[in-house]
Structure 1
């Protein structure tokens, strides 16, 4: 590793906080911090409705081109609905009454990704002393790893739907009668994390009870899906798994460009975390497709984790206008997925 490369790696963890930026982010957004049910409910469940309708159409279509077209629509719509799991981890438990239950019933359990798989996991990623460290379940120093790690990171996501099906239909029921297996499944295969060393702690109290019912629902649904092949044949299930694989890969690509992944394991300041994260603001029009539900403003989200997704665009406009293009805030803004993929890929090719 050259001296320049070493400085480049360390600078992220050594970045001092920009007090003016942090203060402006809070003060300029005080009036837009409430999650609005009139936006959350129709956005999420109309997306799910479109997704499921397109999925049924793809299954029933006799035309390959139409099947592919409907499959793309289903993948994008269900992707948007699924990513409301991110909002569930941040909104206050008393906000949006009934939304968590409805989301799990109509999105989380049908897609075998109930909300417990992200709740009490994603918040660790936002912990001041955990972000970018080995204790962060959602961080790998991908920019500092070998070039082959990037395609492997993306392509392994294609197997996620099959893995989730096996988990809920086979491993969870077996774990109910084999306690050591139950422990392994919970610790290692019950969180939407990318850090292979992350081990999840046992659920307790009200959260534990919620996990039980969500696990039961997901397992019953997974068994029903497998059983349906004896009546409907394999096409419906395989088509759904294929569409869900597209969704999973798209989400993995979004995850890959959500951060620069340049931290070397040391704890970071809030400003350091911000600069290691990514905003893809307008005028780009395609970002809402691959980073929906406000995730095109991922760096801003790390400044204001509890800000509802529908307020992020306005928050970005206010903060950017107030601080200007020469500010630290501007340093996390990028032009799109392709430039970001190129930047991270080039980082992996630097000899260290």
Structure 2
């Protein structure tokens, strides 16, 4: 962990005092100088660049599907493995744009939501309605880290077995999504009670099992229905093609394996997006920032496992409307301008391995 400043949390050892850190987190006041600098130094970075968005997204999707095609069609095992790896990493990056779709002003990127859903969202069974209207709740000032946050679990304060279960659940994601779209969604049109369950519990990319989604309204409801219908038709056609023999079972299984691998990679990334040390109480903005993670350069692996700006996840919690391609510049400005004792310098970490090990040790200590 790279810490060059002092905060109430740096006096508590992360591996042995998890409960103390959770208590200290609730006492962290807002670093007003940091928050003021964040607002002042990044005012010109809020506009998304359509060329960067479209070229990055389409290139990633093309590479991902090309790798999938080679993995399915090649008769060379080694080539299949390499192509599958390329496909997983590229589709993972392309899928990461669902995060940008949930934040960006759509008038600034006309057609991008449709493009995302047509190219990635529907084919990979994760249309953007499953994230839009969910992710913004994670950023709500009074919801972060509480039982009303769909994207938070106090993992550092839970039992050791929760971590492997957390990862294993993502392995089954494509199977669950196929069943949801091909079976539950059509049936729910005729069974109101089932529809309520589908909407509340199976229509959002959430990790908090206690979260219940509310039905969308207005334009959001219209987008939901269109995307859900498309995902249902695609799922039914896909399964129908397999059962009728038009789609080879081997090709279908390779597709599922790649989609499942994308889901696992994203779940591992989610595992280290936060420190997960809040025990359910509302936090100050600075405390939310300190419970989140930046993995800035010079390391380059984070650009692979935390693409599309996700390596600056803590900074993103301070600047949720800043597009992914501007977060690196925002980080450079803030790092250069903020004083050494600023809380901003306390959310920078070295890499994936250390963060996973820290979280695992926390659960082991907690479960002892």
Distance in 1 separating the partners of 2:295 and 2:42: 19
Counterparts of residues 169-318 of structure 1 (less than 5 Å): 169-229=182-242, 230-318=245-333
Distance in 1 separating the partners of 2:115 and 2:100: 14
Distance in 2 separating the partners of 1:39 and 1:17: 34
1:7 pairs with one of 13, 20, 27? 20
1:66 pairs with one of 79, 83, 102? 79
Structure 1: state its 5+ residue gaps: none
Distance in 2 separating the partners of 1:220 and 1:5: 47
Shift, 1:325, TM fit: 4.3
2:295/2:311 contact within 8 Å kept: yes
Shift, 1:351, TM fit: 3.7
State which drifts further: 121-130 or 157-166: 157-166
Distance in 2 separating the partners of 1:258 and 1:88: 19
State which drifts further: 336-345 or 61-70: 61-70
Distance in 2 separating the partners of 1:304 and 1:56: 38
Shift, 1:300, TM fit: 0.2
1:99 pairs with one of 109, 112, 127? 112
Counterparts of residues 32-111 of structure 1 (less than 5 Å): 32-111=45-124
Give the alignment's Cα RMSD to 1 decimal: 1.2
Distance in 1 separating the partners of 2:21 and 2:289: 16
Distance in 2 separating the partners of 1:351 and 1:50: 43
TM-score where L is the length of structure 2: 0.93
Shift, 1:349, TM fit: 1.6
State which drifts further: 48-57 or 3-12: 3-12
State which drifts further: 58-67 or 125-134: 58-67
Distance in 2 separating the partners of 1:197 and 1:262: 18
Give the corresponding residue for 1:147: 160
Aligned length: 350
2:188/2:195 contact within 8 Å kept: yes
Shift, 1:78, TM fit: 0.5
TM-score where L is the length of structure 1: 0.97
Give the corresponding residue for 1:22: 35
Secondary structure of 2:246's counterpart equals helix
1:195-239 per-position Cα deviation (integer Å, ceiling 9, x unaligned): 000000011111111111101100110111112212132111110
2:129/2:227 contact within 8 Å kept: yes
Counterparts of residues 110-129 of structure 1 (less than 5 Å): 110-129=123-142
